[in-house]
Amino acid sequence: MDKIYVNKMAFYGYHGVFSEENKLGQRFFVDVILECDLKDAGKNDDLDHTINYQEIYDITKKIVEGPPKKLVESVAEDISSALLSSFQIIQCCHIKVTKPDPPIPGYYDSVAIELTRSR
């Protein structure tokens, strides 16, 4: 299956279990991989046969910068649901939400969840 990648989109959101996360907010990075048939887009050089990357970004931004959720798992679920319902061409989507600065003690680069949803 062909794939569209939109990598490391950066947003500022207010998701988290702790009240300070909901009050102060933090950075989130989102990677999206969409599996779909891009053969007609490639043959016809026509945007109508693929997905506009700006639309993927806008949908993702609206969710990440929207109302707070406790869990990034819920954020990722909302992104996958919105993309699958917005674009019938998508057969499967992979969503990765990275939280680079969660308020937990220790030394680490980031925490992230990744999920895959199909039609």
For the chain, what are the domain ranges?
Answer: 2-118
Q: Give residue 87's pLDDT.
A: 98
- Residues taking part in catalysis: 99
Give CA torsion, residues 82, 113, 13, 104, to 10 deg.
Answer: 160
CA–CA gap between residue 11 and residue 28 (Å, rounded): 5
Which residues, including other chains, have CB under 8 Å from residue 54's CB and lie 6 or more apart? Answer: none
CA–CA gap between residue 37 and residue 91 (Å, rounded): 8
**pLDDT tens figures, 43-72:** 999 999 999 999 999 999 999 999 999 999
Helices (H), the chain: 19-24, 39-44, 53-64, 72-86
Over residues 17-23, the mean pLDDT reads 93
Q: Give residue 66's pLDDT.
A: 98
Q: Give residue 59's pLDDT.
A: 98
How is the beta sheet containing 90-99 ordered, strand by strand?
2-13, 26-36, 90-99, 111-118
The neighbour count for residue 60, using CB atoms within 10 Å, is 24
CATH number of 2-118: 3.30.1130.10
